[in-house]
Structure 1
């Protein structure tokens, strides 16, 4: 089984290291100083205080790798449409594209059924670049739970978590999903195959769509924004609006809004990924995490006034940041 991880930063590097450690045929697509370190020194994983360095196949040119059985995307959502042409050389007739990307996925309405079946989301796939370039039939969904960071080029520090939930858009337990689950499990990861992966997508998105932009606008850490009465009420309003949208699409939430916010507070003084990106002058995942929910609100005739307000503010914050 040939596996390529495209976008082997913190999360992709963590998965790649775990697979490489058990002898899997895995290759990494990366760039910049991180790639140079992978090629010259190997991939170092720091986990539970122990550092392990592994020799890995790493490149910035996917064409040199040839078709893969699985291509696992671990890029930021806004980065994917522009690199579709770089990814397609990895895809043979039977290749599976594993979408380990945050937010509402571009394939959301593939094999969902109902009146919105086949709807394409412009907020996450402008110009249908992924839908037309990859084709939704080859997609296997993935919800990413681990936290990791690139502590220096070529070195991944694992923070917590080891679960990568997998799921077919149709909900079936397919052979390809089970085969990948077995490979990830053999590498010491948790990889359950879920019949209702969209439910998990929304539970994770529930926090991301609210906590992330609020933190970027206020620079507050999770413990502060989840307990301050003002920002907690804004986050709660956004989550309630999103829940109405999701439930119209058939999603079931296993916990209530306040428990989800309390869970965010329990994480502690953590800077969300959007705040980290803003402070590092990197593009933020605004459309996949917030714009997509606003688009789904329009598609389901659901008012999302708080989401729309915060979306306008964070879009302008990104625009100002890009000009400074």
Structure 2
């Protein structure tokens, strides 16, 4: 990025931008009003101090990642106690302690991309960013960040029901990521194997049941999500057919996967709420094993 900028390859053409600064040392940057954290969930705790050091007084960190976020249990100023930590996502409480949930904004991203090589990203489909406060407020800072994104031609929206939006994405994210990683098949190929299609639909039903136990009704969305492999996992059904979800990309590259955010913490919620999840209970140890093998 320092030498060649950052390139985006898409159906609309190739775009190259040259960031004002590109560094692998956050300590070289001045305090920021807004920090976008696009690290995958597994890498976030180790970067907690660096993220916190980048934040100016009153600054905010936008966490754009898949699955359940580390700040999930923070629903207001009276809830920022240690009991809110999620050990599977923030094992030592580093994010909770150094960044703090009051300085976090959540973000659900619908955008299929793949890193072709360092500094070059191929965009396959979608451009939808849903941002929300952990406590559900439509705060001034949230609206300001959304305005900045829209000015940059990012289709951003401020939402007051971010947790419901996270559950809705998990309907597709959990089964597609896990099954594609385990089989090495892109999304559209899952539909060609009836057994895989059946497993996918069962996981969707289990995710919907866990969400319902959490107070979120996804029954209509669950029905629609079962067609995801045939639609290439696109929000609007128009994506290129051979999308490779992030877990599949990571497995092929020998990188750590977002197992706990997408699967493990969801399973933990199910156990806490007494929801039976036989297929998810099978997938979690299999994908954890795959993650261990890929990293080794």
Tell me, in whole angstroms, the C-alpha distance in 2 between the residues paired with 1:322 and 1:100. Answer: 23
Tell me, in whole angstroms, the C-alpha distance in 1 between the residues paired with 2:74 and 2:175. Answer: 26
Task: Decide whether the 8 Å contact of 1:42 with 1:56 is kept in 2.
Answer: no
Task: Decide whether the 8 Å contact of 2:208 with 2:217 is kept in 1.
Answer: no
- 1:77 counterpart (38, 41, 46): 41
Tell me, in whole angstroms, the C-alpha distance in 2 between the residues paired with 1:149 and 1:322. Answer: 19
Task: Give the number of equivalent residue pairs.
Answer: 286
* Aligned-pair CA distance for 1:228: 2.4
Closer, same or farther: CA 256–153 of 1 in aligned 2, 3 Å: closer
- 2:122 counterpart (145, 153, 157): 157
- 1:314 counterpart (274, 284, 287): 287
**What's the counterpart of residue 61 of structure 1?**
25
Q: TM-score, normalised to structure 1's length?
A: 0.82
**What's the counterpart of residue 99 of structure 1?**
63
Tell me, in whole angstroms, the C-alpha distance in 1 between the residues paired with 2:127 and 2:188. Answer: 23
* Aligned-pair CA distance for 1:259: 1.8
What do residues 89-125 of structure 1 show as CA deviations (whole Å, max 9, x unaligned)? 1022201111101110111121179x9x963222211
* Aligned-pair CA distance for 1:202: 1.0
Closer, same or farther: CA 80–212 of 1 in aligned 2, 3 Å: same
**What's the counterpart of residue 173 of structure 2?**
208
CA RMSD of aligned residues (A): 2.3
Which consecutive aligned stretches of 4+ in structure 1 deviate over 6 angstroms post-superposition? none
**What's the counterpart of residue 288 of structure 1?**
261
* Aligned-pair CA distance for 1:265: 2.1
State the secondary structure of the residue aligned to 1:58: coil
Q: Are residue 120 (structure 1) and residue 93 (structure 2) matched?
A: no
* Segment drifting more, 60-69 vs 219-228: 219-228
Closer, same or farther: CA 112–196 of 1 in aligned 2, 3 Å: farther
* Segment drifting more, 90-99 vs 215-224: 215-224
Q: Are residue 235 (structure 1) and residue 192 (structure 2) matched?
A: no
**What's the counterpart of residue 236 of structure 2?**
none
* Aligned-pair CA distance for 1:254: 6.7
Tell me, in whole angstroms, the C-alpha distance in 2 between the residues paired with 1:254 and 1:196. Answer: 16
Task: Decide whether the 8 Å contact of 2:9 with 2:123 is kept in 1.
Answer: yes
Q: Are residue 220 (structure 1) and residue 185 (structure 2) matched?
A: yes
Closer, same or farther: CA 149–216 of 1 in aligned 2, 3 Å: closer
Tell me, in whole angstroms, the C-alpha distance in 2 between the residues paired with 1:226 and 1:185. Answer: 35
**What's the counterpart of residue 44 of structure 1?**
7
Which ranges of structure 1 fall in alignment gaps of 5 or more residues? Answer: 1-37
* Segment drifting more, 42-51 vs 94-103: 42-51
What do residues 210-240 of structure 1 show as CA deviations (whole Å, max 9, x unaligned)? 1111122122221222352211221222221
State the secondary structure of the residue aligned to 2:62: strand
**What's the counterpart of residue 111 of structure 1?**
75
* Segment drifting more, 152-161 vs 209-218: 152-161
Q: TM-score, normalised to structure 2's length?
A: 0.89
Tell me, in whole angstroms, the C-alpha distance in 1 between the residues paired with 2:295 and 2:156. Answer: 38
* Aligned-pair CA distance for 1:172: 1.3
Closer, same or farther: CA 152–54 of 1 in aligned 2, 3 Å: same
**What's the counterpart of residue 167 of structure 1?**
132
* Aligned-pair CA distance for 1:55: 4.6
Tell me, in whole angstroms, the C-alpha distance in 1 between the residues paired with 2:45 and 2:272. Answer: 22
Tell me, in whole angstroms, the C-alpha distance in 2 between the residues paired with 1:107 and 1:188. Answer: 28
State the secondary structure of the residue aligned to 1:241: helix
Closer, same or farther: CA 321–65 of 1 in aligned 2, 3 Å: closer
**What's the counterpart of residue 302 of structure 1?**
275
**What's the counterpart of residue 16 of structure 1?**
none
State the secondary structure of the residue aligned to 1:291: helix
